[in-house]
Amino acid sequence: MTQEIKQRIAGKAVIIHSGKVLILRESKKYDDGTHAGRYDLPGGRVEPGEHIEETLVREAKEECGLDVEVGRPIFVGDWSPVVKDVQLQIFGIFFKCTIKKADVILSQDHDDFKWIDPRETDQYDLMSPITEVLKLL
C-alpha cells in the first residue's frame, strides 16, 4: 500500500541587505522541524485564503523579526520531507525581498542566523534547494 503524500505550498524569502542574504539555522526545539542544525531561508506554509506575499511578510516577522518588502519571484522548487511520520511534497516559491533595518530577532524555531555572500554557499550546511536559489542572485 502506498502512503498518501500531502502537498503544501510555501513562500520563501530571499532577504537581501548590503549584498548579503539572511539564512536561519533550524533549532532542535522546532516541533515540525526535520533539519535541526541546518540553515534555511525564512518562510513557511501559505495558509488557505492567504496571498503568498502576505505569507512572506508574516513568516519573516515571526521567524526573524524583520519587516520585508516583497519583490519578484526568482525560483520555484519542490522537496519531500517526512514530518511527524507524514510524507509531504512542498512546492516552494522563492521571492527576492529587501529590508530597511537588519535587526534580526529569532523565533524559538531557530537558534542562529548569518548574513552570507551568496557566492559562498559551500561554507554552510544549507537545506535543499537553497544553494541553487542563491546561485541565481
pLDDT of residue 128: 81
C-alpha to C-alpha distance for 79 and 75, rounded to whole angstroms? 13
C-alpha to C-alpha distance for 15 and 42, rounded to whole angstroms? 8
Q: Write the class of the CATH domain 5-135.
A: alpha beta
pLDDT of residue 67: 97
pLDDT of residue 82: 80
Go through 25-50 and write b for each residue having 16 or more CB atoms within 10 A of its CB, e for each that does not: bbbeeeeebeeeebbbbbbbebeeee
Q: Is the peptide bond before 129 cis (omega within 30 degrees of 0)?
A: yes
The residues of the chain scoring below 70 in pLDDT are 1-2, 30-35
pLDDT of residue 1: 43
Each residue's pLDDT tens digit, 85-122: 888 888 999 999 999 998 999 999 999 999 999 999 99
User: Which residue's C-alpha cell is 548590503?
Assistant: 18
